[in-house]
């Protein structure tokens, strides 16, 4: 993935529309939340199995694809505004999660790390 290309296109898109004035971290975070809710709305009444069938042949696939892209783009925009390197932050978070969720305590179950039995 060429994140710099995406960032440039996104910055240009916002700039030529004079939208930077609206793109505070607060506003972008709220918009991100709305896009997450729109993604959730697609699967809201599906069973677990039905939601796992949302592949390219599914009638709602394009909707899911669009909402996932919206979530990603707002996340990229927040990172631009805060100076967060999304790749580095993601890799750091995976490392933190590996410590919080050791395999011997978390394999095959899903409690929050604070509830894992040590």
Query: Residue 76 falls within a domain, yes or no?
Result: yes
Query: Residue 35 falls within a domain, yes or no?
Result: yes
User: How does pLDDT run across 38-47, given as a tens digit for each residue?
Assistant: 999 999 999 9
Query: Residue 109 falls within a domain, yes or no?
Result: no
- What is the domain-level CATH number for residue 13? 1.10.287.1080
User: How does pLDDT run across 55-85, given as a tens digit for each residue?
Assistant: 999 999 999 999 999 999 999 999 999 999 9
- Supply the range of the domain harboring residue 73: 3-84
Asked if residue 118 has pLDDT above 80, the reply is no
Task: Give CA–CA dist 114/101, Å, rounded.
Answer: 9
Query: Residue 106 falls within a domain, yes or no?
Result: no
Query: Residue 89 falls within a domain, yes or no?
Result: no
Give how many domains the chain has, as a whole number: 1
Query: Residue 96 falls within a domain, yes or no?
Result: no
Query: Residue 39 falls within a domain, yes or no?
Result: yes
Higher pLDDT, 10 or 117: 10
Query: Residue 60 falls within a domain, yes or no?
Result: yes
Q: How far is C-alpha 61 from the chain's CA centre?
A: 17
Range 21-33 average pLDDT: 97
What pLDDT band is residue 12 in, cutting at 50, 70 and 90? Answer: very high
Range 86-104 average pLDDT: 94
């Amino acid at each position: 993935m060429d994140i710099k290309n995406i960032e440039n296109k996104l910055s240009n898109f916002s700039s030529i529309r004079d939208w930077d004035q609206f793109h505070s971290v607060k506003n972008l975070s709220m918009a991100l939340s709305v896009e997450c809710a729109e993604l959730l709305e697609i699967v809201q009444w599906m069973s677990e199995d039905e939601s796992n069938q949302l592949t390219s042949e599914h009638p709602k696939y394009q909707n899911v694809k669009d909402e996932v892209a919206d979530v990603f783009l707002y996340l990229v925009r927040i990172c631009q505004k805060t100076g967060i390197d999304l790749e580095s932050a993601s890799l750091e978070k995976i490392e933190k999660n590996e410590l919080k969720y050791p395999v011997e305590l978390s394999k095959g179950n899903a409690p929050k790390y604070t509830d894992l039995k040590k």
